[in-house]
């Protein structure tokens, strides 16, 4: 079901957005050579506990997950594109890391992701992250009253294709509110002028993710982590966005 939020409710959602942004800032800053993924998850868990927030991941068990996720932070490294399950891995120089985090504060959810390289960055990784970030910006810019979901999808896809990347549409953006995943689904490629009309009060996560050499993925033996089929690296960028008559508001904007 698609729900419209009042301006007052959108204001209430800002606390969740600020908290999610702060956790991503802290975990990204802590992602240095020698840091273990389990330690990053613990840092996020400690911040949740201190803030009195609730994790959207730890008990999450959709049809595509082998079991409840069991952690509070998605840590996808190198060829891991999405849903990276934190495990005993120590970050190395040159690792491409994507962190994805969602939490509920006072009953409202926000969801966001960021990608970066630990230590020395290869040019192709920098280019991938830049394209993914610009695709997110293009999608947000298209999230205006009078447009349609297809306009967001087309804007994301146009940036990706212009830089030579193919796009997987199996996973994409989604409604956000009292729960983490709701309608509408927002593919990362599509045709403009198609799909749900965008109205003030819609709140959703926009989340392009791209891989260097393919648009195909497979599920890791851990039952959660989605990896590129050819082993090439991946990047992921995401913000929770509210549509208003005065334009989109990025609720998870980082400093």
> Does the annotation list 183 as a binding residue?
no
171's CB contacts (< 8 A; 6+ apart) are 82, 209, 226
12's CB contacts (< 8 A; 6+ apart) are 106, 108
> Does the annotation list 215 as a binding residue?
no
Minimal CA–CA distance to 17: which of 107, 82, 102, 83?
102
CB 139 within 8 A of CB 152: yes
> Does the annotation list 163 as a binding residue?
no
> Does the annotation list 125 as a binding residue?
no
> Does the annotation list 236 as a binding residue?
no
202 burial class (0-12, 13-18, 19+ CB within 10 angstroms)?
A: buried
Q: Could you tell me where the beta strands, DSSP code E, fall in the chain?
A: 54-55, 74-77, 80-82, 96-105, 108-117, 173-175, 182-186, 203-206, 209-211, 217-219, 226-228, 234-236, 239-244, 247-250
> Does the annotation list 239 as a binding residue?
no
> Does the annotation list 161 as a binding residue?
no
Annotated binding-site residues for substrate read 83, 181
Annotated binding-site residues for a divalent metal cation read 100, 111, 174, 207, 238
Annotated binding-site residues read 83, 100, 111, 174, 181, 207, 238
């Amino acid at each position: 079901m698609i729900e419209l939020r009042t301006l007052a409710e959108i204001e209430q959602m800002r606390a969740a957005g600020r908290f999610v942004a702060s956790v991503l800032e802290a975990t990204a800053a802590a992602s240095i050579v020698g840091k273990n993924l389990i330690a990053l998850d613990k840092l996020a868990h400690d911040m949740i506990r201190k803030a009195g927030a609730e994790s959207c991941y730890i008990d999450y068990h959709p049809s595509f997950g082998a079991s409840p996720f069991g952690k509070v932070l998605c840590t996808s490294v190198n060829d891991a594109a999405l849903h990276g399950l934190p495990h005993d891995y120590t970050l190395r120089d040159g690792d491409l890391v994507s962190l994805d985090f969602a939490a509920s504060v006072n009953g409202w959810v926000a969801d966001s992701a960021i990608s970066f390289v630990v230590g020395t960055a290869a040019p192709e990784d920098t280019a991938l992250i830049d394209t993914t970030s610009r695709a997110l910006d293009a999608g947000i810019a298209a999230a205006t009253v009078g447009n349609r979901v297809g306009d967001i999808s087309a804007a994301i896809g146009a940036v990706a294709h212009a830089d030579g990347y193919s796009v997987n549409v199996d996973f994409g953006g989604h409604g956000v509110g009292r729960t983490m995943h709701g309608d509408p689904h927002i593919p990362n490629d599509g045709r403009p002028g198609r799909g749900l009309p965008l109205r003030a009060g819609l709140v959703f996560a926009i989340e392009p993710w791209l891989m260097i050499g393919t648009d195909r993925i497979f599920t890791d033996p851990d039952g959660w982590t989605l990896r590129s089929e050819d082993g090439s690296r991946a990047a992921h960028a995401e913000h929770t966005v509210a549509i208003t008559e005065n334009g989109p508001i990025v609720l998870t904007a980082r400093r």
